[in-house]
């Protein structure tokens, strides 16, 4: 914890109150219900497509991302949270999920199980990017991956699945962008053409893009600087370079999107920020979001597993940014009903404890606070909390074995055993 400087020399420094690290944020009650609703809808949606959850560790060996995400990507060169652990090993907080899934498949030989290799995951990712609206250093993604399906129809199917989820979340007005970034056969001539085009404009590009022009000219399309973007817009289009196989695959993708009735726009400069994509890339954007308008992005990565020394199994998937999606979602927190226990005296408190346990055991959300309050104060508190019912547990009630229940909205009162009152709650 840092200390605030003393105002006067000699005065004692006050410790500064603790604060979350820049680019991270708390998700507090009141907001977290929307996260829970999104997570529930995501699970439900993905499982309809026979996806299953795969949870990998938060940190991995640094080489995994260098190799998977790509040594020349912005993520690896500028954004990773990398540290050396006490054993002297370089570890990295995952900046994305795909390399971890690929590692897990190879490690556990999931490819030999015969089950569909369709996985999903939700959790935090870490990137040391410049924090701004819609861009954080700890952010959350929903990630889905499919392995062993070469057909472009599966790329269309996951785009469809993304739309199915966005629809359930009440996200409207999105646009779907698609492209093919070719393969190892056709990308080198395209990179050469880009290098040549960039070479002619070197003086006008930012220092970062000048470096990329040599190392990996495709990455120039990721630059966020407007001047570089304008220059890159006039560069050759990958669509003029992709080989026959990639062209056919792209044609299949578009045809499958048509079958599913998903409108799209072909965006030849959509190369996506990670190095591993082959053939299909796509993004779903929301014009409502301003500069950080990408809700989700993904594509195919047919070589990663093989490059990791695993079996030659292709992959395709996407990652959706939870913060961004929630900022345009129309989600209502599910309605909840609360039973408030108003207890009087020590005996009332003890009986209340057991009663609260009974109601909770029967699925009723129940709150009991252990402060000494009079009946009026109990009702004031229940009102403030928006409780639906108040259960009255005083000396008289205990003597009779019957308790009072008041419905706050109607003011109606009932009197009965705990079982009878449970029936009243269930019926209302
Ligand atoms: P990427 O893994 O870069 O393909 O990003 C996939 C999705 O994650 C994007 O479409 C965003 O919705 C989200 N995303 C990526 N980076 C950030 C970030 N720094 N902060 C918040 N969301 C992000």
Residue 324 to residue 57: CA distance in whole angstroms = 24
Task: Please indicate, yes or no, if residue 292 is contained in any of the structural domains.
Answer: yes
Count of structural domains, the chain? 2
Which among 127, 169, 324, 325 is the best mutation to test ligand 1's pocket, defined by most ligand atoms within 8 Å of the CB?
Answer: 324
pLDDT band at 1 (very low <50, low <70, confident <90, very high): very low
CB-ligand 1 contact for 296 (6 Å cutoff):
yes
Which among 80, 130, 294 is the best mutation to test ligand 1's pocket, defined by most ligand atoms within 8 Å of the CB?
Answer: 294
Of 16 and 275, the one with more pLDDT? 16
Give whole-number Cα distances, 86 to 65, 89, 91, in Å.
20, 7, 11
Contact 283, 177 (CB under 8 A): yes
Residue 413 to residue 397: CA distance in whole angstroms = 14
In the prediction, which pLDDT does 236 show?
Answer: 94
Q: What does the DSSP 8-state code read for residue 334? A: P
364 and 406: one domain? yes
Burial (0-12, 13-18, 19+ Cβ within 10 Å), 168: middle
Residue 282 to residue 297: CA distance in whole angstroms = 6
Task: Please indicate, yes or no, if residue 422 is contained in any of the structural domains.
Answer: yes
Task: Please indicate, yes or no, if residue 298 is contained in any of the structural domains.
Answer: yes
Contact 298, 319 (CB under 8 A): yes
281 and 416: one domain? no
Question: DSSP 3-state assignment of 28?
Answer: coil
Task: Please indicate, yes or no, if residue 406 is contained in any of the structural domains.
Answer: yes
pLDDT band at 11 (very low <50, low <70, confident <90, very high): low
- Average of pLDDT values for 397-420? 93
Helix H or strand E encompassing 146: strand 138-147
In the prediction, which pLDDT does 162 show?
Answer: 98
Q: For 138-158, what is each residue's pLDDT tens digit?
A: 999 999 999 999 999 999 999
Task: Please indicate, yes or no, if residue 308 is contained in any of the structural domains.
Answer: yes
CB-ligand 1 contact for 139 (6 Å cutoff):
yes
In the prediction, which pLDDT does 74 show?
Answer: 85
In the prediction, which pLDDT does 9 show?
Answer: 62
Contact 249, 152 (CB under 8 A): yes
Burial (0-12, 13-18, 19+ Cβ within 10 Å), 9: exposed
Residue 217 to residue 232: CA distance in whole angstroms = 10
180 and 117: one domain? yes
CB-ligand 1 contact for 135 (6 Å cutoff):
yes
Residue 258 to residue 73: CA distance in whole angstroms = 32
Contacts of 345 (CB under 8 A, 6+ apart): 394, 395
Average pLDDT taken over every residue of the chain: 93
CB-ligand 1 contact for 95 (6 Å cutoff):
no
Tokens 């890339």 locate to 281
Q: Where does 183-243 have alpha helices with state H?
A: 187-200, 207-215, 226-233
Tokens coding 279: 């053939």
Of 191 and 291, the one with more pLDDT? 191
CATH number at residue 384: 3.40.50.800
pLDDT band at 2 (very low <50, low <70, confident <90, very high): very low
304 and 277: one domain? yes
Task: Please indicate, yes or no, if residue 350 is contained in any of the structural domains.
Answer: yes
pLDDT band at 367 (very low <50, low <70, confident <90, very high): very high
Using CA positions, which residue lies closest to atom 16 of ligand 1?
Answer: 135
| Full domain range(s) for residue 393 | 338-427
Atom of ligand 1 at shortest distance to CA of 322? Answer: 12
CB-ligand 1 contact for 297 (6 Å cutoff):
yes
101 and 50: one domain? yes
Instruction: For CA atoms 383, 384, 386, 390, give the dihedral sign.
Output: negative
Rg (CA), the chain: 28
Q: For 340-359, what is each residue's pLDDT tens digit?
A: 999 999 999 999 999 999 99
Contacts of 139 (CB under 8 A, 6+ apart): 124, 125, 127, 321, 322, 323
Of 312 and 397, the one with more pLDDT? 312
- Has residue 10 got a pLDDT over 70? no
Contacts of 148 (CB under 8 A, 6+ apart): 111, 117, 313, 314
Gap from CA of 54 to ligand 1 centroid (Å): 20
- Average of pLDDT values for 350-372? 96
47 and 125: one domain? yes
Which of 328, 357, 375 is the last residue in one of the domains? 328
CB-ligand 1 contact for 324 (6 Å cutoff):
yes
Residue 272 to residue 265: CA distance in whole angstroms = 15
285 and 415: one domain? no
CB-ligand 1 contact for 129 (6 Å cutoff):
yes
Which among 73, 96, 139, 290 is the best mutation to test ligand 1's pocket, defined by most ligand atoms within 8 Å of the CB?
Answer: 139
284 and 418: one domain? no
Tokens coding 408: 């706050």
115 and 68: one domain? yes
Task: Please indicate, yes or no, if residue 257 is contained in any of the structural domains.
Answer: yes
- Has residue 13 got a pLDDT over 80? no
CATH number at residue 84: 3.30.930.10
Question: DSSP 3-state assignment of 332?
Answer: coil
CB-ligand 1 contact for 389 (6 Å cutoff):
no
Using CA positions, which residue lies closest to atom 15 of ligand 1?
Answer: 321
68 and 141: one domain? yes
In the prediction, which pLDDT does 335 show?
Answer: 84
Q: For 22-74, what is each residue's pLDDT tens digit?
A: 999 999 999 999 999 999 999 999 999 999 999 999 999 999 999 988 888 88
Which of 328, 346, 369 is the last residue in one of the domains? 328
Which of 298, 328, 358 is the last residue in one of the domains? 328
Using CA positions, which residue lies closest to atom 14 of ligand 1?
Answer: 321
Which among 135, 141, 166, 291 is the best mutation to test ligand 1's pocket, defined by most ligand atoms within 8 Å of the CB?
Answer: 141
Angle CA 95–101–302, to nearest 5: 100
315 and 423: one domain? no
Give whole-number Cα distances, 69 to 74, 86, 286, 396, 401, in Å.
9, 25, 25, 69, 66
- Has residue 219 got a pLDDT over 90? no
Using CA positions, which residue lies closest to atom 12 of ligand 1?
Answer: 321
CB-ligand 1 contact for 127 (6 Å cutoff):
yes
73 and 91: one domain? yes
- Has residue 185 got a pLDDT over 70? yes
Task: Please indicate, yes or no, if residue 256 is contained in any of the structural domains.
Answer: yes
CB atoms within 10 A of CB 302: 20
Using CA positions, which residue lies closest to atom 8 of ligand 1?
Answer: 321
CB-ligand 1 contact for 321 (6 Å cutoff):
yes
CA distance from start to end of the chain? 51
Contact 139, 322 (CB under 8 A): yes
Instruction: Tell me phi and psi for residue 317, to 5 degrees.
Output: 180, -175
Using CA positions, which residue lies closest to atom 18 of ligand 1?
Answer: 135
């Amino acid at each position: 914890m840092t200390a605030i400087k003393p105002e006067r020399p000699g005065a004692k420094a006050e410790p500064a109150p603790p604060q979350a690290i820049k680019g991270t944020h708390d998700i507090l009650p009141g907001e977290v219900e929307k996260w829970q609703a999104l997570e529930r809808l995501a699970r439900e949606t993905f499982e309809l497509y026979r996806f299953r959850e795969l949870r990998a560790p938060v940190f991995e060996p640094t080489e995994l991302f260098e190799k998977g995400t790509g040594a020349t990507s912005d993520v690896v060169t500028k954004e990773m949270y990398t540290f050396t652990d006490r054993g002297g090993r370089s570890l990295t907080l995952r900046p994305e999920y795909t390399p971890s899934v690929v590692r897990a498949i190879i490690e556990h030989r999931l490819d030999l199980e015969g089950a569909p290799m369709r996985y999903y995951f939700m959790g935090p990712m870490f990137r040391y990017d410049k924090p701004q609206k819609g861009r954080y250093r700890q952010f959350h993604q929903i990630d889905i991956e499919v392995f062993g399906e070469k057909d472009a129809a599966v790329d269309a199917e996951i785009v469809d699945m993304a739309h199915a989820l966005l629809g359930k979340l009440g996200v409207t007005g999105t646009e779907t962008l698609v492209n093919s970034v070719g393969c190892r056969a056709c990308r080198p001539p395209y990179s050469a053409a880009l290098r040549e085009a960039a070479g002619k404009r070197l003086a006008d590009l930012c220092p970062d893009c000048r470096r990329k022009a040599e190392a990996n000219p495709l990455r120039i399309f990721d630059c966020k600087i407007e001047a570089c973007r304008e220059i890159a817009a006039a560069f050759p289009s990958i669509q003029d370079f992709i080989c026959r196989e990639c062209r056919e695959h792209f044609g299949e993708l578009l045809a499958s999107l048509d079958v599913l009735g998903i409108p799209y726009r072909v965006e030849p400069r959509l190369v996506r920020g990670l190095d591993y994509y082959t053939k299909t890339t796509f993004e779903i954007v929301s014009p409502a979001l301003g500069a950080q308008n990408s809700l989700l992005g993904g594509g195919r990565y047919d070589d990663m597993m093989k490059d990791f020394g695993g079996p030659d199994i292709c992959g395709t998937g996407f990652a959706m940014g939870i913060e961004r999606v929630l900022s345009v979602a129309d989600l209502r927190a599910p309605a909840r009903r609360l039973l408030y226990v108003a207890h009087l005296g020590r005996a009332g408190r003890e009986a209340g404890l057991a009663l609260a346990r009974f109601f909770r055991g029967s699925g009723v959300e129940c709150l009991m606070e252990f402060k000494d309050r009079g009946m009026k104060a109990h009702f004031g508190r229940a009102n403030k909390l928006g409780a639906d019912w108040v259960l009255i547990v005083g000396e008289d009630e205990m003597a009779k074995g019957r308790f009072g229940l008041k419905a706050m909205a109607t003011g109606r009162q009932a009197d009965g055993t705990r079982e009878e009152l449970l029936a009243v709650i269930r019926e209302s």
